[in-house]
A = this chain, B = another copy of it.
Amino acid sequence: MKLWLFGLYGIVATTAVAGDRAVKKGITDTTGLVSSLPVFKDLERYSPLNFDQFGGHEIRALDRNLYSELFSHWEENQHFDYRILKELEEDLKDIKAKKGTALNCGSGVLEELKPVSTLEDEGLSLEQIVERIEKDILEFKDDETVAVNVASTEPVIPYDQEVHGSLEGFERAIKENRKDRISASMIYAYVSLKNGIPYGNFTPSAGSGIPALKELAEKNGVPHAGNDGKTGETLVKTTLAPMFAYRNLKVLGWMGYNILGDLDGKVLSHKQNKESKVVSKDKVVSKILGYEPYTITEINYFPSLQDNKTAFDFIHYQGFLGTKMKFYFTWDAVDAIVAAPLVLDIARFLNFAKKKGVKGVVKELAFFFKSPMDTDEYNTHKQFETLVNWYRSLK
């Protein structure tokens, strides 16, 4: 099984690859990997944990390699034991990214990540960009290849029925070089699905979520899933909010205030790029409760934290006899560490799905996402049950 990552040199991608290799070498265990829970034991037969090969697209540091980029992230974050890092150099230094596209990726990406180098910089048309992306992937892929988007979050692209509403319209727009309507994540998803490669969207970017690409997935019989990895504060929210519901406690307000540094934090400090993220995080509480309490959902840049995302949540709720009470939580985790294993999990389950003939949106993977496609199930407990049942019913 092979894994192609859009955003290959990001901290999530490099950590996912490093983790896979460290498990393979036996220098770390499978802690953090959902797909390695006893309940999914047989998955190993369909989608063995250790991937055969890694590749991906990038728009940054293209003259470097995965190890050097992992090392840079590590120097800022020291996000795992240096003794593990040291042992991985040989395994990772030959993994190199291909040049990608940053179409409609917003100022967050273009300014904060510079110097950036993209296919469009070479003067290519949309059609040519698609061809180049396709070429890279075709060279890499085998029958068990999955692609996951872990590139920086794009701004929200206004929905355009003509372009996004049908596969035919989408392909026409590519031909007509409608660069204003199509973003990098759509191109990546398009190429993947077109070539029968299951696609996971770990970001809140559009990706495969537009009708045109859902149509393509159905047509080609490819499974896909997204959006936006549910790793931190939202994971806790969707685990805890049900408690208030079960107990008939009325949530009056829920404040969630997130801070982080790092590239991701920098990109999200751009209003435009932040938008899709905040929407994604905000709606979960009301979806679970069935009514709309007052909510605050903010993400802010806090440079010294680097990838150490910290979230402050405050829940004000009303109990019996109208009495108001309080609940506070603080999430203090390393974003890449909670995210990376899920990237591997998603890839493994998508490959399993493909083998089992599942096509289109795999809504049973909702457990992994903040904004799961095609389902209204946000309760983490239920999502986990759904995942287990789905897996059991297929294997």
**A residues 247-262 in Cβ contact with B at 8 Å:** 247-250, 252-253, 255, 257, 259
A176 smallest CB distance to B (angstroms): 42
**Cβ contact within 8 Å between A247 and B316:** no
Q: Which residue of B lies closest to A300 (CB)?
A: B296
**Cβ contact within 8 Å between A325 and B333:** yes
**A residues 337-390 in Cβ contact with B at 8 Å:** 337-338, 340-341, 367, 379-382, 384
**Cβ contact within 8 Å between A325 and B334:** yes
CA gap between A255 and B319 in the complex, in Å: 26
Q: Which residue of B lies closest to A238 (CB)?
A: B243
**Cβ contact within 8 Å between A333 and B319:** yes
Does A161 sit at the interface, judged by CB under 8 A? no
Binds B, one of A33-41, A50-58, A94-102: A33-41
Cβ 8 A contact of A19, one of B259, B304, B320: B320
**Cβ contact within 8 Å between B34 and A246:** yes
- Which of A29, A319, A340 is packed against the most chain B CB atoms within 10 Å? A319
Per-residue B-contact encoding for A286-318, CB less than 8 Å = 1, 0 else? 000000001010001011110000101010101
A342 smallest CB distance to B (angstroms): 8
A177 smallest CB distance to B (angstroms): 41
Given known A-B contacts A243-B236, A255-B259, A304-B253, A337 and B316 have beta carbons under 8 A apart: no
**Cβ contact within 8 Å between B327 and A331:** yes
A144 smallest CB distance to B (angstroms): 23
Q: Which residue of B lies closest to A314 (CB)?
A: B310
**Cβ contact within 8 Å between B314 and A312:** yes
Q: Which residue of B lies closest to A388 (CB)?
A: B246
Q: A36: which B residues are within 8 A, CB to CB?
A: 248
**A residues 215-250 in Cβ contact with B at 8 Å:** 235-236, 239-240, 242-243, 246-250
A387 smallest CB distance to B (angstroms): 9
Q: A242: which B residues are within 8 A, CB to CB?
A: 239, 381, 384
Does A30 sit at the interface, judged by CB under 8 A? yes
Binds B, one of A79-87, A185-193, A206-214: A79-87
**Additional pairs, 9, CB under 8 Å, beyond known A319-B334, A329-B329:** A19-B320, A33-B248, A294-B304, A320-B340, A321-B337, A323-B334, A325-B333, A325-B334, A326-B330
28 examples of A-B residue contacts, CB within 8 angstroms: A15-B320, A28-B320, A31-B248, A31-B250, A32-B320, A32-B321, A33-B248, A33-B320, A34-B247, A36-B248, A78-B82, A80-B320, A81-B322, A81-B323, A84-B321, A236-B243, A239-B239, A239-B240, A242-B384, A246-B381, A252-B303, A255-B300, A294-B302, A319-B337, A319-B341, A320-B338, A320-B341, A327-B331
